[in-house]
Amino acid sequence: MSPLHHFIICSILVIIFFPIFGFKTVMIFVGGFLIDIDHYFWYVVKKKNLSLITCHYYYQEVMETLEYKEVENVLFIFHTIEFLLFIVLLSFFTSYALLFLFGYLPHVIPDVIFEMKMWKKKVVSYSIIQFLAQRWSHVH
Ligand SMILES: [Zn+2]
């Protein structure tokens, strides 16, 4: 999904939960919007380019042209089952993590559904273990 969609969903959730949690609701924004920074991390490593604008256009072009080979088996670290489990575990101990989860789930679930509809198959890695296993099998 586009950053604008994520931003709108986060803003609505912050408005709903602000009267209960106050300024802690910034964690909804972190979990529901800022986690896409992992796309930028991957872009910087792979393309050796620090420009956020070029990065945005790169992903936009990948989606418009449906060039899934560009992002096949890519690891977006905050969009993995391991990261989700870590946050779920953490949410038992701190309300900050719980609020992060309130933003995170409405981000990653539509992300996965959107990607499945767009590519008609699983393209990126949703698991660190799966990613490493695929890397290992390519090397050996
Ligand atoms: Zn995302």
Indicate the pTM of the whole model.
0.89
For the beta carbon of residue 9, count every other beta carbon within 10 angstroms.
Answer: 18
> Could you report the per-residue pLDDT of 38-80, keeping only the tens digit for each?
999 999 999 999 999 999 999 999 988 888 888 888 999 999 9
> Cα–Cα distance between 133 and 140 in angstroms, integer?
11
Calpha distance 87→96 (Å, rounded)? 10
Distance 24 CA to ligand 1 centre (A): 21
pLDDT in tens, 9-33: 999 999 999 999 999 999 999 999 9
The per-residue pLDDT for range 76-131, each reduced to its tens digit, is: 999 999 999 999 999 999 999 999 999 999 999 999 999 889 888 888 999 999 99
Ion ligand 1: residues, Cβ under 5 Å: 36, 111
